Structure 1
Amino acid sequence: MSFHSSMWKLLALAFVALSAISAGAHALQNQSDADLIPIEFFAVRENMTNVELSPDGRHLALMRIPAREANPLIEIYETADFSAQPRRLNADPMEFQTLQWVSNDLLIVGARQKIRNRIDGFNRGVYAGKVVSYSIESGEFEELTSGMQVESLLPSSPNEVIVSLPRTRASFSADDPFTAFRPRAYYRFNLETGQRQLIINGNQRIATAAFDDDGNPRFASGYDAGAREFVYYYRGIGDDVWEESYRVDGYDLSTFTPVTFDQENENLAYVLAHNGHDKIGFWEFNLASGEFGELIYRREDSDVSGIRFHSNFWGEGSVMAGVNYFADRIRTAWIDPDEEALFAGLRQAIPNAHQLSVTSRSRDGNTMVVFNRGPRDPGSYYFLSDGAMRYLGGHAPQLEPEMLADVEYIQYPSRHGDLMIPGYLTVPQGEPPFPLIVLPHGGPFVSEVITYDEWGQFLASRGYMVLQPQYRGSLGHGLEHYTSALGQAGLQMQDDKDDGALYLVEQGLADPDRLAMFGWSYGGYAALVAASREDNIYQCAIAGAAVSDPNMQLNYYRDGLSPFQEEFELRRREGIQPIDEAENVNIPLFLIHGDVDQRVPLEHMRVYIPRLERAGIPYRYLELEGADHFSNTLFYNHQTDLYTGLEDYLANDCGPGGL
């Protein structure tokens, strides 16, 4: 492409400009206890987010929080002159959440508003949302149908998109494996007239569908309750009848996920699948025959995580550029040499480059927005056009690179001899051995790759080493790594976390007398389990939004499960029940919970704390007023309370003399 012939000149100029920016930044002096990074630097919400370029490259939209406790504004700039005052949009009394260009003129914007002071049942929080369109030309908002979401942009039809609406009210946990099979209705939506044309009216058989860049429905999925099988369908371009392509036994925990379609062969798709192997690979799949074809890419050390599409969607469409896989960060095995060269140049030009992405790019390919996020960069946006790169802003510009800690990727053996456990280690300033905090992720059946982690960086700024273990059940490390967790909650899953701490002690990096665990959600459950283990290795545990009673948690959504789904969920939840172990807590315990948590309701603390009190076990409790389960509901006041509480507890009450 002609664009790439000039890219190296452009990136060389950009590197010079950004070096000047970096040289002018304030350097952090040697840090002492009296000169810690202020808590408010971590507590404030992300300053700039959702930076998106219009398809024609003429406008740039972003969300910015103008003051410490303010809600986001949308700012829209003309890219020809960033010095001019932007157009500013305010959602008050609502709060902007998302934005997306769907044409040169239209933005689709998501907003929310607090409508009640108490949750309205499991997974029904205190907020309600709206989706609206905003026209650059008219300057007007227009409300869209409730629940509508954009499924596919159509690069060849700039005035149309594919949208969907739910056929049933969602009542399940967002991390359950059946989310993708809730029926939706799909429409071709005209952005100019607001008219929509029904394409597919989903049902249990044909629940969800996927479309190609021209808006043709190509693939669908559903659930056969009688056979207890997930079923996948295809239909040819121009056909009206869905043909069955593939079935998966509901008890089969291996992966089969369609990703994209071949641009020339309408019967050829590309899927992520185990296909008889331990690690997920990227495969050709013949929709008509229902058979796997050529293996495109697979590794022996980790799963393929997904596809990196070409950075210029509007100009190139959904063209594959590379295959992503789990490692110290999400890495890419490139297919497209031009895209590989582009990202290699960006990596040289952008300071502290770690996880790079092109969030949007103009149709002609000459203008783009680049995003970087990593251990020493909480998130930064760059505008690249006409031989120059401009720093736009970031998530937390108050946190300069010198203030932050490096993150190392490690592996250590499980005591059970069956697995090597990956982990991410945030290393503070100073010399080992360090006090160590084990920070397990929530889920637990999710993938975690550490780029920038605010909690890990805050704790490291206070002198603590932080281990984020990818214990069994964590996705991204093979089928055995995942399935070996079933029935092992609080047992072998817990051993994997403790083994990480003990490994770091053996390596001389962690002080055996200064170990603690802090977790949120499932991580909070793990902290409760840690607090009651025999031969405890920890000096204290901090449990946030913790599941204290897994059976009660399952009962919140049990009525919406089929018999198979219930059996599956029960199998996932076998293991230790913290509610039954409360009287065995043998280390100091700090409990934290939001009072409007919809995912792990406050009832978990209301039944757990009395057990502690009846057993005469001391504890500290912090209830965050108005906080839900998720990070986007932790506002400045919640974060300052949380970080102040963590800092004080770890320093003073975590075991004799503090951690």
Structure 2
Amino acid sequence: MEILKRLAVSLLFLCSLESVSAAVEPYPLDYWALRDVISNVEVSPDGKHVALLKIPTKDGDPIIEVYPSDDLDAEPYRVNSHPMEIQGFFWLSNDVIGMNLRQKVRDRIEGFNEGVYEYLLASVDIKRKKMKKYDQLGAELEHVLPNNDRRIIFSYIPGGDKSRLNKAFRPRTYYEMDLKSGAKKLILRGKLDMGQVEFDIDGNPWLARGFDVGKGEYVWYQRVTNSGKWQEFYRLSEDSFETFEVEGFDDRQPHIFYVRANQGDDKIGLWEYDVRKGDFGELIYRRSDVDVAAVRFHSNEWKNRDSVVGVVYAKDNIKVEYFDELEMATTRQLQGIIPESHYLRINSRSRDGASLTIYNVGPRDPGTYYLLHAGKLTKVGSRQPLLEPENLAEVRYIEYQARDGRTIPAYLTIPNGKPPFPAIVMPHGGPFVSEVVVYDEWAQMLANNGYIVLQPQYRGSKGFGLEHYTSAFVNGGQGGYKMQDDKDDGMLYLVDQGWAEKDRLAMFGWSYGGYAALVAAARDDQIYQCVIAGAAVSDNQMQVNYYRDRLRGASKIEQLGMWDDSVSPIEQAANVNVPVLLIHGSVDQRVPPEHAERYRKALDKNGQVYKYVELDGADHFSNTLFYEHQKTLYESMISYLASDCGEGGL
């Protein structure tokens, strides 16, 4: 199925693939600016059709294409939701596809976390060729109901998203909906003390979560031991930084839940929890180096939706320790035959298990989909078909010592060529998130242009244990202090190891990473030639004041400990001692544009050297960066690094 190179080349009207393959020059930045050419490839429950999301022009909206599984060269059935944009889809039955849609309805944000888009659920019957949009704004699919091809369960948050409670515990209301008529029936109305519900394969509620305001505790309930009544089985103080996450249950013994929890340990492990006894049971799996990140469910969600088959952790790659031998053997066999196999998973499967789609992604594969049908493996297409494996960069997992002795994990994206290279440290956003670098477009784009890229998992990063995470704020916010040292020490490590040139160092980050870049621009012991700050928090107090009144418990300690006590870039504007490139989206709801406006005024007041690029219509998040946004972003960065990053450029 050639929707690959021909399609991408036609989008850009650029040079031929033959000349690209032979060239030693970096790819044109237009290549990197393309949004995913195809994505979301899934086989229907009966295995007869394959659907995919495709962006047919460089600045166009995604459409769904549906092909017969036994003829991927056939003319597809196409679905366009204009003026709404298709964000993703999912098979609801053999003939019905569900869709997440969004539409830009405003030109300006309405406040913090109040963006310019609104969202809807919809479906299309590929046999009758009819689309139906459902009228509940903000609705989210909860359950496909594999054993009922006419109904689904959806939910929404009444009154919108404005709540003082952690998003995972905001009460939702649940409806069952008839796909043909659109009629909906209330299942249950969530409330604060019990509002987050999970359903089993038949749509029976089995798990709920809530919050006890009086005691300041999160509460978990189950209906496995008594299907007619909710039973409380666990509480966790809102002041605790430990994790308690119910991931599933033993489908042979439903009263045995699988729980990710610290249970007094630094690292998150996977435990059995017996709801009849109300206590932890066997520790199933735990590591001494990283947290258990998730569980892996059976690849056949139509027949085995609730079956847990493995445990997931992440270090140099995303890895699965399987409990199910057949699932493990199937995955291992596919890994042996798919090119550039790195992180591979079966992302959809027919009800009979015979047809399946496979997704692989890695440092030398931006993401490729395959179909296994009628015993034949076929390459469906790549997210970025213009990028050849040999021209992409190697990614290594490394560890180095910060100046206070802490071990900092990191990912190193290494350009083709011989070191030393000019180097860029690219701290992730958050900061309290878990990052695993499998394929990172920004890092690969920079490496393709000759820069070695370091992505440090500085203190505050999740996934490496409780102490590594909380060390960023428990004894005062370390933003601009030890968290900043972690980044600088990584770059000095690269210099010591011969990877990087000491006079050719820079920092680029987005969101918190942009904040870190602004902090770096004003450090006394300066090691960088310039910084690039995207969507950067420039004023700590302004940022935390957007949501200060919503904070309580551990999140209050985390956020206030971080932002109240850390270095605020706007207060350091007079001390900036390297060139700065500022980039900000005009409708950024998470870090509103006022941050860039106020910081620029402070730089102007102090006569500092900087450039500013505004991405018109871009929000904070990557799925709002369209082709022109990304082209502008990449051209601005590469030009700045070459010409304006210190004397002579980087």
Shorter-chain TM-score bucket reads over 0.9
Shift of 1:263: 1.2
Correspondence 1:628 to 2:619:
yes
What displacement does 1:523 show? 0.3
CA distance change for structure 1 residues 538 and 651 in 2, over 3 Å: closer, same or farther? same
Give the Cα separation in 2 of the matches to 1:29 and 1:591.
Answer: 34
Give SS of 2:331's match.
helix
> What does residue 97 of structure 2 align with?
107
Q: Which residue of 1 aligns with 2:539?
A: 549
CA distance in 2, matches of 1:437, 1:567: 32
Matching of residues 29-428 of structure 1 within 5 Å: 32=24, 35-144=25-134, 145-171=136-162, 178-236=166-224, 239-417=227-405, 419-428=406-415
Match of 1:524 in 2: 514
- What letter is aligned with 1:367? S
Q: Which residue of 2 aligns with 1:509?
A: 499
Q: 5 Å matches for 1:559-570?
A: 559-562=549-552, 566-570=556-560
* Distance across 1 between alignment mates of 2:600 and 2:184: 52
In structure 2, C-alpha distance between the alignment counterparts of 1:27 and 1:350, rounded to whole Å:
26
2:124–2:131 Cα contact (<8 Å) kept: yes
Q: Is the 8 A contact 2:65 2:79 kept in 1?
A: yes
Two-structure CA RMSD over aligned residues (Å)? 1.8
Shift of 1:584: 0.8
Rounded Cα–Cα distance in structure 2 between residues aligned with 1:650 and 1:547: 22
Q: Is the 1:312–1:363 contact (alpha carbons within 8 Å) kept by the matching residues of 2?
A: yes
Give the Cα separation in 1 of the matches to 2:143 and 2:120: 19
Contact 1:315–1:362, Cα closer than 8 Å, also in 2: no
Alpha-carbon offset, residue 187 of structure 1: 2.6
Return 186-195 or 471-480, whichever deviates more: 186-195
Q: Which moved more, 1:161-170 or 1:617-626?
A: 161-170
Counterpart for residue 421 of structure 2? 434
Name the % identity: 51
Higher mean displacement: 497-506 or 160-169:
160-169
- The answer to whether the 8 Å contact 2:70/2:373 transfers is no
Alignment pair present for 1:609 and 2:597? no
Alpha-carbon distance in 1 for matches of 2:322, 2:19: 37
Deviation at 1:125, TM superposition (A): 1.5
Deviation of 1:558 (Å) = 3.0
Question: Does the 8 Å CA contact 1:438/1:468 hold for their aligned counterparts?
Answer: yes
Q: Give, in angstroms, the shift of residue 562 of structure 1.
A: 4.8
CA distance in 1, matches of 2:70, 2:636: 47
| TM superposition score normalised by structure 1 | 0.93
2:447 corresponds to:
460
- Tell me, in whole angstroms, the C-alpha distance in 2 between the residues paired with 1:473 and 1:554: 17
Give SS of 2:542's match.
helix
Structure 1: runs of 5 or more not aligned: 1-24
C-alpha separation between the residues in 1 aligned to 2:252 and 2:186? 26
* Contact 1:228/1:564 (8 A) holds in 2: no
Contact 1:245-1:290 within 8 A present in 2 as well = yes
Closer, same or farther in 2 for the Cα pair 1:431/1:650, shift >3 Å? same
CA contact (8 A) 2:363 2:438 kept: yes
Range with greater deviation from structure 2 (150-159 or 281-290): 150-159
Q: What residue in structure 2 maps to residue 4 of structure 1?
A: none
With normalisation by structure 2, the TM-score equals 0.94
Q: Which residue of the partner structure matches residue 5 of structure 2?
A: none
Q: Deviations over 1:53-106 (max 9, x none)?
A: 111111111111111111111111121322321111112222111101111121
Residues in 2 aligned to 1:431 and 1:367: alpha-carbon distance in whole angstroms: 44
Assess if the C-alpha contact under 8 Å between 2:20 and 2:27 holds in 1. Answer: no
| Cα pair distance change 1:345/1:408, threshold 3 Å | same
How many angstroms does 1:192 deviate by? Answer: 4.1
Number of aligned residue pairs: give it: 630
Distance, in Å, in 1 between the alignment partners of 2:274 and 2:223 is 12
User: Shift of the alpha carbon at 1:188?
Assistant: 3.1
Query: Secondary structure at the residue paired with 2:251?
Result: coil
Partners of 1:83 and 1:622 lie apart in 2 by 43
